[in-house]
Every structure is written in structure tokens, then in C-alpha cells.
Amino acid sequence: MKVKLGDVYVSVGVLNKILDTELPVTVSYKMMKLVNKLNEELKTVEEQRVKLVKKYSSSTENTVSEDNKNNFLQEFSTLLESEIDLDWEKIALKTLDKDIKLSVNDLSKVQYLFSE
């Protein structure tokens, strides 16, 4: 399945929330394999983000200068639009613990990983 890095980037918090709940062992195993794969991608995204911050920061600070904010956002957005191949078979939402509470916003961030 093709997934945008941006989708992966924004889903981290929700995935951590799901991982903090007790799940059936087969679902837990599948989720851990997924998280391990995604963590590799996220590490690379973070490395690139740090490089961009350095590229667009002033010489004295490690933050993007106001003059370069648009350039930074443009390059970082381009990176997040990149697609990766994710070897993942969607999990049916009904297999998750019924006690998991996800907002509509949370669910929208991870919808690429689940089916009805």
C-alpha cells in the first residue's frame, strides 16, 4: 500500500494511544511490526527536518528564521507528500478493544491503517 509520509507523521500520537491499550495478542503483534516499520521512516523524516531547520536557521539559533519560514515549510511539505510502500494489511476496527477511545480527529489520522 502507498502511504504519504505526512500521514505517517501525523498518526504517531494516535498510534501510541492505541499501543497503550491492551489488545488481542495477534493484533498487538501486527501493530508492533507496523510501528517498527514506521519508526524507521519517521527517524529519516526527523533527520531531514533537522537538516532543513539548520539550512534555514540563522547562524546563532537552531530555529527557522522568520525570513526563511516559507522556504522551510515548502521543502518540508514536499518531503511529507512523498509516498512510501508500506507492507500492511488493514486491520478491521472491530478487532480493537472496545475500550479504546478515539476522537473523530484521531481516527482520521490513522484511517489508512484500518478497515471497517
For 34-74, what is each residue's pLDDT tens digit?
A: 999 999 999 999 999 999 998 998 777 778 888 889 999 99
pLDDT band, residue 18 (cuts 50/70/90): confident
> For position 100, what pLDDT does the model report?
79
- The mean of the pLDDT values for the chain is 90
Whole-model pTM?
0.83
Alpha helices in the chain (DSSP H): 5-19, 25-56, 69-81, 104-110
Query: Dihedrals φ, ψ of 2, to 5°?
Result: -90, 135
Residue type, 4: K
Give the CA-trace dihedral at 104, 106, 108, 109, to 10 degrees.
170
> For position 50, what pLDDT does the model report?
92
- The structural domain count of the chain equals 1
> For position 1, what pLDDT does the model report?
92
* Domain, as residue range, for 77: 2-115
d(CA 91, CA 1): 13
